[in-house]
Chains A and B, each alone.
Chain A
Amino acid sequence: SAVISQKPSRDICQRGTSLTIQCQVDSQVTMMFWYRQQPGQSLTLIATANQGSEATYESGFVIDKFPISRPNLTFSTLTVSNMSPEDSSIYLCSVEGARMNTEAFFGQGTRLTVV
């Protein structure tokens, strides 16, 4: 299985500021995914981070609010911009397993609280 490290594991931020979350994988992967889990809710896909091209965003999520970088095949960042209390969530990075299209692995998540 892929080993995924996310930083920070948690943070408390002031509204109006931005936070960048890092995701590092121990092997090269084609696609990386960013999910959000709002309190008491299920996980929702924010976007797919593609190396060498712009991220692909799901309905309801926009690049200005959640800019994503993917500089290489093992690393990605998600920025939560101009934060409000509604952005308080767990943000998770995910990658496909070595056996393509059969499993997906998740980082431990970043618990963000906006005050």
Chain B
Amino acid sequence: QKEVEQDPGPLSVPEGAIVSLNCTYSNSAFQYFMWYRQYSRKGPELLMYTYSSGNKEDGRFTAQVDKSSKYISLFIRDSQPSDSATYLCAMSNYGQNFVFGPGTRLSVLP
């Protein structure tokens, strides 16, 4: 079992839809949880950063962390074609390296 699992997709949704992206993990020591967006031929761009459990909202994006289930989610409301990208989850513990999921490829169709 990989340390971080993520459905690679591709996921296609119509414009305006609510998108749900998820990752599961096995290491209960993880404390920091991040979501990155990566456009084709670009470096990953930090979208959301959460410490420990709970929710965090930023505009159309909401990140949720459920440490009891070892499950994190990213919700995108009112999705736009410009949201079409690969979304990577990443997590780490204090003083440890970041571990990334393989990414989910999202296409938002106009």
Do chains A and B stick together as partners? no
Interface residues of chain B, those whose CB is within 8 Å of chain A, are none
